[in-house]
Amino acid sequence: MYLIYLAKRFAMLFLVVVTAATLNFFVPRLSDKNPVLEKITEMSESSAPGSVDMQNLLQVFNERFGLDRPLWEQYLDYITDMLTLDLNYSITSYPTRVADMILEALPWTLGLMVTATLISFVLGTILGALTVWRKDARLLQITVPVVMVFSAIPFYLIGLLLIYFLAYRGGWFPIGGGYSITAFPAWEWEFIRDVLEHSILPACSIIIASIGIWSLGMRGMMVTVQGEDYMNFAEAKGLKTRRMFLRYAVRNAILPQITQLALFMGQLVTGAVLVEIVFGYPGMGSLLLQAVDYLDYFTIYGIVFVLILAVAVSMLILDLVYPLLDPRTRAHRT
């Protein structure tokens, strides 16, 4: 039975990836712009008049990227490339491969977004659980309204406030960028410290804006488990408060939080766009924005396909791990 269950889940994963990849192929092509023509026009503007044969270059680049072939042939080539993880070359940065561009930008996004998301998830979940469990705590009564107010403010606005007060006026942190202009990327403590200093404000903007959302979700789930029979039974057995809180209340209330976390982890790139723009932070968001501006088909395809895979794989992992967290799903599955 379990092998059949796995086969169904992997088949669903494949279907989701192909369907999303198909949409990924057609949506950028709704624009009437020609990315090759845009690139050649930019080259001609930066060169001496008459030095660029636009018609010849347009034909060569169209043949190189297969844009002169029927759309259905381009689609089949695209699906084949995506399934074999061949992300092709970037149109605007040719002859740089899209995979190399993603590998260069991905660590910046993962380092910032994953760390900030996990910190906000842990803090928000604990805070939301404690607000229901310890209603008489004075500190919680003060903290909860504050984080709820910040959760209603977009993180890029919080980022602008942090830049103005802590970077521009206070001078305590760098205003933007991933590292100093004079720094040379290397696995050395000085460069690592410089990167950490530049990531503090972007991370804080994400944490401040997200912690209230996680707290509110956990608070709602904790309220629902308070009157459950297993909670009343645990209290009647005289179990310790700490065990009731962790093993009975939090363990059952946290399941929807984990589902939301898995979905959010798969969508890190979309959440990173505005953060990276505000702080001038290098990463997948900035790379995607640049690709959209120049309508670089293959860069858009590569980045969005990575996002599709991340969401699909995260949901598959969640689907396989969920029965370990909640035995009731195992009984339902069988």
Which residue has tokens 């029927």? 70
For residues 213 and 294, membership in a common domain is answered with yes
Residue 9 lies in a domain: no
Residue 93 lies in a domain: no
For residues 315 and 181, membership in a common domain is answered with yes
Q: In the listed set 19, 53, 86, which residue is the last one of a domain according to the structure? A: 86
Cα–Cα distance, 215 to 267 (Å, whole number): 20
Quick one: pLDDT at residue 48?
53
Q: Give 97's strand partners.
A: 89
Quick one: pLDDT at residue 95?
81
For residues 75 and 135, membership in a common domain is answered with no
For residues 279 and 140, membership in a common domain is answered with yes
Quick one: pLDDT at residue 327?
60
81 lies in which domain range?
35-86
For residues 122 and 240, membership in a common domain is answered with yes
Cα–Cα distance, 326 to 311 (Å, whole number): 22
For residues 147 and 244, membership in a common domain is answered with yes
For residues 106 and 183, membership in a common domain is answered with yes
For residues 134 and 265, membership in a common domain is answered with yes
Q: Which residues fall within 8 angstroms of residue 132, CB to CB, at 6 or more apart?
A: 219, 222, 223, 226
Quick one: pLDDT at residue 312?
79
Task: Show pLDDT as tens, one digit a residue, over the chain (334 residues).
Answer: 667 767 777 788 788 888 888 888 888 887 777 777 777 776 666 655 555 566 777 777 778 788 778 888 888 888 888 888 888 888 888 888 988 888 888 888 888 888 888 888 888 888 888 877 776 566 666 777 777 777 777 777 888 888 888 888 888 888 878 877 777 777 778 888 888 888 888 888 888 888 888 888 888 788 787 777 777 777 777 777 777 777 777 877 887 887 778 777 766 666 667 787 788 888 887 888 888 888 888 888 888 888 888 777 777 777 777 666 666 555 555 5
For residues 274 and 302, membership in a common domain is answered with yes
Residue 50 backbone dihedrals phi, psi, to 5 degrees: 85, -5
CA 130 vs CA 13, 32, 120, 267, 283: distances in Å: 37, 54, 15, 28, 35
For residues 141 and 237, membership in a common domain is answered with yes
For residues 159 and 51, membership in a common domain is answered with no
Quick one: pLDDT at residue 52?
55
Q: In the listed set 24, 56, 86, which residue is the last one of a domain according to the structure? A: 86
For residues 282 and 311, membership in a common domain is answered with yes
Count of the separate structural domains present in the chain: 2
Q: Look up the CATH number of the domain holding residue 293.
A: 1.10.3720.10
Residue 184 lies in a domain: yes
